Amino acid sequence: MADEKQDRTVELNFGGETRAFNVDDPVLPGWIDDAALQSGGYPYKKKLDQAEYDSDLKKLQIELVKVQLWQQATGKRIMAVFEGRDAAGKGGAILAASAYMNPRSARVVALTKPTETERGQWYFQRYVSHFPTAGEFVLFDRSWYNRAGVEPVMGFCTKDEYELFMKQVPRFEKMIVQDDIHFFKFWLNIGREMQLKRFHDRRHDPLKVWKLSPMDIAALKKWDDYTDKRDRMLKETHTDAAPWTVVLANDKRRARINLLRHILRTLDYDGKDKDAIGELDDKIIGQGPKILK
């Protein structure tokens, strides 16, 4: 007798009301679709126009090519950490940044779970080995901040390990900046309904289905736990030396444009075109947790 297909219906609490969500159902519930874009306090009712996005993105990618040429001439090192809940858009933002960069001096780091050897090392050790050398631009798709969120929420570290990390990380990052590495930390924030919508999109897109893991489904009921850890992380690791840049990312287009603008506005590179870079949208990007509602 063949095994019956597992029912992945999850009962979720939204403000005291229980709602059912089954990621395997090909029909996205209307209550998710209707609320997704403006969930979590997102300020826009429509996505950025595709033509405007394409035009702005090209200008910013041209500026990023200039950044790489400047790095090659000066040896400057740049490192950017991309964090956020599952489906926040980290990978897409990294792809937008790196699409036209020279892969010989631009690297994306997306580490798998630690090996037995790595688990016996200093926690930061396996990340340090991927830091940039002279002239490199390194982008981390998740980082050591796994220990500030997913690990304590899902039980992958002890409470003592978590508390030690929270004490050590500001000092660790201060050393990065003191060593003259241009260091960016991005938190991409999405609303709960938007996360559900993106999970559903992944499940039913044959090109993206690999992105949806069993742990994503297991984490659905832990939204509040993740929120608590996010809030503490932003409060205690947002420092003068290594501030968090928070991006409201329900609209991936606006998120990517503003994230890239922030990088380019911060760097003092040769041939910088401020008009091409444009202004930041302070409705969706800001320093530290103050932009979150």
Residue 3 has pLDDT above 60, yes or no: no
* Mean pLDDT, the chain, integer: 96
Determine contact, residues 186/288, Cβ cutoff 8 Å. Answer: no
Listing DSSP states for 260-277 in one string gives HHHHHHH---TT--HHHH
Higher confidence at residue 196 or residue 5? 196
Quick one: average pLDDT of 75-84? 98
pTM for the full predicted model:
0.95
pLDDT digits (tens, 9 = 90+) for 110-141: 999 999 999 999 999 999 999 999 999 999 99
- Structure letter (DSSP) for residue 205: -
Query: 192 Cβ partners below 8 Å, 6+ apart?
Result: 14, 39, 40, 223
Give how far Cα 172 sits from Cα of 47, 79, 239, Å: 38, 14, 12
pLDDT digits (tens, 9 = 90+) for 262-283: 999 999 999 999 999 999 999 9
User: For residue 1, what pLDDT is reported?
Assistant: 36
Phi, psi for 183 (deg, rounded to 5)? -120, 125
Residue 118 CA to residue 122 CA, distance in Å, equals 8
User: For residue 204, what pLDDT is reported?
Assistant: 97
Fold classified for 58-190+223-291: Rossmann fold (3.40.50)
pLDDT digits (tens, 9 = 90+) for 4-44: 456 789 999 887 889 999 999 999 999 999 999 999 999 99
User: For residue 2, what pLDDT is reported?
Assistant: 40
Residue 49 has pLDDT above 90, yes or no: yes
Residue 245 CA to residue 260 CA, distance in Å, equals 11
Residue 149 CA to residue 219 CA, distance in Å, equals 11
Determine contact, residues 228/288, Cβ cutoff 8 Å. Answer: no
Residue 281 CA to residue 245 CA, distance in Å, equals 13
User: For residue 5, what pLDDT is reported?
Assistant: 58
